Structure 1
């Protein structure tokens, strides 16, 4: 595990920030601020897009990843830092149209990988976020 410098979160393998589990926007913003390099800006863009697309979205940090859902309805999306990309997870991704491109070991989950160029189709991602928010969430 990486050493912690004064006030800085520990970065786990792949540069994923180690942020204490917590509910609400504060721990999610702490996670995003601690995302290394180019990933922090992409994290801010993702969070803003999710918040715009699903007003009143419920946020939390669990298992060193930001989670997004609807209060009392479970989680529909999460993201996580890896060395070369950010993995956006749609927990009911197989039900989205079109289906997000990356398969999972979990039958229903699908992923979108965002690489260092930070490019993604914002309109398509917003459509997936909207669809995902309307499906039953994952209880975790």
Structure 2
């Protein structure tokens, strides 16, 4: 992929940080293989669940927020899956299935071929947006 975005170790695209939809769309376009289609599906799902969602790319990961200062969700590519990080995920019901070093954070992993439960994801997104977010 000459001239395209560099994939960091683990398969995550290296995208310049920036606020707004454009850097998030650049990240999604650079997601390797099947992950790009899932990235588009997730981004559209988040926009449907929260039409006023705020977007940015920081630390080579798309972030989603609602209040202008904090973030409720991050997306990160790994070689074999996409990780959704709900920064205050311990407050979601039902809990996203994967725990984190930070006891407040919960993860949801998407592997190739997984059927997305869009209803559950949209519910988690709306719940997460209503909780205090992560402020870097």
TM norm structure 2: 0.97
The alpha-carbon deviation at position 47 of structure 1 amounts to 0.3
Could you give the per-residue CA deviations for residues 36-80 of structure 1, whole angstroms, max 9, x where no partner exists? 000000000000000110111000000000000014241000110
- Please point out which of 23, 30, 34 is paired with 1:34: 30
* Other structure's SS at 2:41 match: helix
CA distance in 1, matches of 2:14, 2:69: 26
For the 8 Å contact 1:87–1:114, the answer to whether it is kept is yes
Structure 1 stretches (4+) deviating beyond 3 angstroms? Answer: none
What RMSD over aligned residues (CA atoms) do the two structures have, in Å?
1.0
Could you tell me which residue of structure 2 aligns to residue 102 of structure 1? Answer: 98
For the 8 Å contact 1:42–1:118, the answer to whether it is kept is no
For structure 2, the 5+ residue unaligned runs are none
TM norm structure 1: 0.94
Could you tell me which residue of structure 2 aligns to residue 49 of structure 1? Answer: 45
Could you tell me which residue of structure 1 aligns to residue 54 of structure 2? Answer: 58
Could you tell me which residue of structure 2 aligns to residue 5 of structure 1? Answer: 2
* Other structure's SS at 2:99 match: coil
For the 8 Å contact 1:9–1:34, the answer to whether it is kept is yes
CA distance in 2, matches of 1:100, 1:121: 12
- Please point out which of 79, 82, 85 is paired with 2:81: 85
CA distance in 1, matches of 2:52, 2:68: 12
For structure 1, the 5+ residue unaligned runs are none
